[in-house]
Amino acid sequence: MELSLAHPAIKAFMCGSLSGTCSTLLFQPLDLVKTRLQILQTTLQPGSARVGMVTVFLTVVQTEKLTGLWKGVSPSFVRTIPGVGIYFSTYYSLKQRYVPEHGPGAMEAVLLGAGARTVAGFCMLPVTVIKTRYESGRYNYMSVAGALRTVCQTEGPRALFSGLPATLLRDAPFSGLYVMFYSQAKRALPQEMITSTYTSLANFSCGILAGALASLFTQPADVVKTHIQVSPHLYKRTTQAVQYIYKEHGFQGFFRGTVPRSLRRTMISAMAWTVYEQLMARMGLKS
C-alpha cells in the first residue's frame, strides 16, 4: 500500500518525531545523570557513602563542563526522532484499527501503549545501546555511525541488541501503564476543561501524573537494562544482572537513579504527548 505525506499514520509519525526532538533536547541532562548513578553500582563497595543526583550533576559539570550534561544527545536524537515517530504512528494505527470510537478502556490502553513501544523499542535498540554507553562516560565513541561500526567489529552485531529483554520489560510496561493512567486521568477531567483554552495544560498535567506512576513501577527494569548494556561481557543473561544487583546492593539497588529518571521520563512523556496531541488537532486528526 502506497503512503503519502497526507496519510494519517505519516502525519502521526511527523508529529511524534517533532515532539520527541523538543523534549529530548530539554531533558537529556537528567538521562545522563540517571545513567551515571546506575553504573556507580558497579564501582562502589557495599556500605559505601551514598552518591546523590546533585553530586553526580556537579561532578559532570566540573570535569566535563556544562556541555558534558548533553553527552549522548546525538544518539538520543538518532533514536528519538524516528523512534518516537514509530511509536506514535504505530499507536495511532493500532488505535484506529482496534479501539472503538469512544476511546480505549484501561486494558485496551495498556495493550495499545505496550504494543506500540515494543515495535519502536525493538527497531531502535542498537541506538539505545550506543546512547547508554555514551552517557556512561566509559566509551569514547566519535560518532553514532562509528560506534555502531566499532561494536559490530569488536563485539559482534549481537551486542547491539544486548539488554533486549530488560529494555522491553521496562519500555512496554512503562508505555502501557502511561497510556492507561493518561487516558483514565483525561477521562476523569470535566469535559469543558478538555475542550477549552486549557486543553494543553490539562494534557500536560495528566501526563505528569501518568509519567510519575509509570516510572516508579518500571524503575528496576531500567537499572538492569543499564547494567547489561554498559557491561554486556559480564552478564550472559538478564537474570545474572538481577542477581548481581540484589546481592551487592540489596533491594534498594533496583531503584538507583529513580529521581532523575522519574523527572525526565515524566517531563519528556508529558511534553511529547501534549505536543503530539496539539499537532494532531491542528491537522484535523483525532489522536
pLDDT of the residue at 178: 94
pLDDT of the residue at 194: 67
Inter-residue contact 78 to 144 (CB < 8 Å): yes
Would you write out the chain's pLDDT as a tens digit for each of its 287 residues? 444 555 777 878 888 788 778 878 888 888 888 888 877 765 655 555 567 788 888 988 999 888 888 887 887 788 888 888 899 899 989 988 888 777 778 899 999 999 999 999 999 999 888 888 877 777 888 788 888 898 899 999 988 998 888 888 888 999 999 999 999 998 888 877 766 677 888 888 999 999 999 998 888 988 888 888 888 888 878 899 899 889 888 888 888 878 888 887 888 888 888 888 888 888 777 76
Q: Is the dihedral of CA 115, 136, 147, 64 positive or negative?
A: positive
Burial 274-285 (b: 16+ CB within 10 A, else e): bbbbbbbeeeee
Distances (CA, A) of 119 to 40, 112, 220, 270: 31, 11, 21, 21
| Closest residue by Cα to residue 283 from 1, 22, 48, 5 | 5
Crossing angle of the two packed helices 106-136 and 73-98, in degrees rounded to 10: 170
Q: Which CATH class is domain 8-282?
A: mainly alpha
> For residue 34, what is its C-alpha cell?
540517571
Inter-residue contact 76 to 133 (CB < 8 Å): no
Distance, in Å, from the CA atom of 77 to the CA atom of 179, rounded to the nearest integer, reads: 23
Inter-residue contact 40 to 256 (CB < 8 Å): yes
SS3 48: coil
- The residue extents of the domains of the chain are 8-282
Distances (CA, A) of 261 to 172, 177, 266: 16, 16, 8
At 130, the amino acid letter reads I
pLDDT of the residue at 209: 92
- Which pairs with CB-CB distance under 8 Å and at least 24 residues apart come from 186-195? 187/103
